[in-house]
Structure 1
Amino acid sequence: MTTTPTLHQESDPAMTEQPALVSVRGLTVHYGSRTALDGLDLDLPGGQIVGLLGENGCGKSTLMKVLAGVYADHRGEVRVAGLPLGPATKAVVSYLPDRSALPERARVRYCLELFEDFYPDFDRAKAAELIARFRLEESTRLEEMSKGMREKVHIALAMARRARVFLLDEPISGVDPAARDGILDGILRTLDDDSLLVIATHLVHDLEPGLDSVVMMRHGRVLLTGAADELRAEHGESLEQIFRKVYGS
Structure 2
Amino acid sequence: METILKAENVSKRFFKKQALRGINLELKAGRILGLMGPNGSGKTTLLKIAAGLQKPSSGNISVCGLNIGSETKALTALLPDRNTLPRWMTASDACSFYADYFDDFDSGKARDMLGFMKLGATEKVSAMSKGMIEKLNLTLTFSRKAKLFLLDEPLGGIDPVARERIVSAIIKTYSEDSSIIISTHLIHDIETMFDDVCFIKEGEIALYGEAEQLRSEHGVSIDQLYIKIFQDL
TM-score by length of 2: 0.96
Name the stretch that deviates more: 91-100 or 186-195.
Answer: 186-195
RMSD after superposition: 1.1
Q: Distance in 1 between matches of 2:75 and 2:186?
A: 27
- Cα 1:210–1:38 change in 2 (3 A) is same
Q: Distance in 1 between matches of 2:56 and 2:218?
A: 38
1:178 offset after TM fit, Å? Answer: 2.5
Q: Distance in 2 between matches of 1:209 and 1:19?
A: 23
Q: 4+ runs of 1 displaced by more than 3 Å?
A: none
Aligned AA for 1:133?
A: F
Of 75, 86, 90, the match for 1:107: 90
Deviations 1:46-77 (A, max 9, x none): 11111100011110000000000011253211
**2:65 aligned with 1:82:** yes
Q: Find the residue that maps to 1:206 and give its secondary structure.
A: coil
Whether the aligned pair in 2 keeps the contact of 1:151 and 1:174 (CA below 8 Å) is no
1:19 offset after TM fit, Å? Answer: 4.2
Identical counterparts, % of pairs: 38
Aligned AA for 1:248?
A: Q
**2:20 aligned with 1:37:** yes
Of 170, 173, 187, the match for 1:187: 170
Structure 1 equivalent of residue 104 of structure 2: 121
Q: Distance in 2 between matches of 1:169 and 1:78?
A: 18
Aligned AA for 2:90?
A: R
1:157 offset after TM fit, Å? Answer: 0.3
Q: Which structure 2 residues correspond to residues 136-155 of structure 1 after superposition, within 5 A?
A: 136-155=119-138
**2:146 aligned with 1:160:** no
Aligned AA for 2:58?
A: R
1:214 offset after TM fit, Å? Answer: 0.5
Aligned AA for 2:36?
A: L
TM-score by length of 1: 0.90
Q: Which structure 2 residues correspond to residues 29-68 of structure 1 after superposition, within 5 A?
A: 29-68=12-51
Q: Number of residue pairs matched?
A: 232
Q: For structure 2, list consecutive stretches of 5 or more residues without a partner in the other structure.
A: none
Of 145, 152, 158, the match for 1:169: 152
Aligned AA for 2:38?
A: E
Of 131, 137, 158, the match for 2:114: 131
- Cα 1:62–1:138 change in 2 (3 A) is same
Q: Distance in 1 between matches of 2:188 and 2:205?
A: 20
Deviations 1:74-122 (A, max 9, x none): 3211111000011110010011111222111111110000000111111
Q: For structure 1, list consecutive stretches of 5 or more residues without a partner in the other structure.
A: 1-17
Whether the aligned pair in 1 keeps the contact of 2:11 and 2:56 (CA below 8 Å) is no
